[in-house]
Amino acid sequence: MGLNVAILGATGLVGQKFIQLLEERKFSLSSLRLLASDRSKGRKLTFHGEEVKVEEASPSSFQGVNIALFSSGADVDRYFAPLAIQKGAVVIDNSSAFRMDESTPLVVPEVNPEDIKLHQGVIANPNCSTIQMVVALYPLHKLSPLTRIIVSTYQAVSGSGAPAVEELRRETELLNQGQTFTSQFYPHQIALSLIPQVDDFTPDGYTKEEWKMVDETRKIMHAPDIAISATCVRVPVVCGHSEAIWAEFSSPIEPDEARNILRFSPGVEVVDEPQKSIYPLPQLCEDKDAVLVGRIRKDFSSPTGLTMWVVADNLRKGAALNAIQIAEVMVGKGWI
């Protein structure tokens, strides 16, 4: 007696990761409905060895659905969410559409699972860069409240979806052949370069992605006073976001203490033997559930600061896995 689950945006990178993870984690399902735009209608995807046909999403698609996993972008998700709720579904939304709505819980299960209960139909999945940062910092925040976070990111192109992965592949190949090209997806060349812009700019000179890291972190941790500043940068990596984080706490935490706490924290794997060149790397996080934390050291520029390097699979913990963990908490606690 499992649940009826629908995936909106099933053919996208995150949609396909949803399918893979429902299978891997043996999520108890009665039925799985795969929904997408009319462009993908009729495509067949495999689930537990069986072909499932992709249907065009429509208001009636959510009839009988218990949990709807959304990852179709903010506009489409915003359109379909009330329709799905009306049919009785709980929506777990991976877009930015509802994250900062006061009535929508924004949840990372390792941090604020209890917030799930407060939902009014939608539970929002945070931004990829935010998720891995709060998973790494929250166990330390519980010991000594965070006062400030400075973070710079090194974000993989898969966070922008399949066309961006294809653009990096294409540009890399053309550069190898010595050919010139015009970038199509990103505003500038990404192969063998980087772009200090993720998402659009706001008038204050920050990007929306940078503000997401500020606003979402505060909301998830229920800590509206943490001072946060971010610089988000796209790098020519296919999978795995990396972050250089400077965290300041109310009182000092020694690096060894931080490592000991993080070793026993949910969703975290400490990878920190720098003398052996062992530290988190994009190629180490791929298809891993854990957020990898390493290069933990004193921030000598602050009396209470720590510096660290945090890497996670942006499609997995940064997107699909976190959403499915939210669903698992609901099932496990009997909240659905």
Among 137, 235, 253, 312, binds a second copy (CB under 8 A): 235
- Say what angle helices 321-332 and 13-24 make with each other, to 10 degrees: 40
Handedness of CA 22, 27, 33, 35 (dihedral sign): negative
The reply on whether position 297 binds a second copy by CB under 8 A is yes
CB of 164 to a second copy, least distance (A): 13
Among 141, 239, 241, 285, the one annotated catalytic: 241
128 is catalytic: yes
The piece of 39-47, 70-78, 92-100, 277-285 that touches a second copy (CB under 8 A) is 277-285
CB of 161 to a second copy, least distance (A): 17
CB of 146 to a second copy, least distance (A): 11
Residue 188 DSSP code: S
Taking the C-alpha atoms of residue 128 and residue 156, their distance in angstroms, rounded to an integer, is 11
48 is catalytic: no
Sequence-separated (6 or more) residues with CB below 8 Å from residue 297? 255, 306, 307, 308
**What is the x/- site pattern for a second copy, positions 192-231, by CB under 8 A?**
xxxxxx---x--xxx-------x------------xxx-x
Phi, psi of 56 (to 5 degrees): -75, 130
Q: What is the dihedral of CA 195, 201, 204, 208, to 10 degrees?
A: -100
Handedness of CA 217, 115, 20, 8 (dihedral sign): negative
Among 279, 312, 317, 319, binds a second copy (CB under 8 A): 279
Q: Which residues bind a second copy (CB under 8 A)?
A: 148-150, 152, 154, 168, 172-173, 175-176, 187-189, 192-197, 201, 204-206, 214, 227-229, 231, 233, 235-238, 242, 244, 246, 255, 274-275, 277, 279-283, 294-302, 305, 307, 309
- Residue positions annotated with a catalytic role: 128, 241
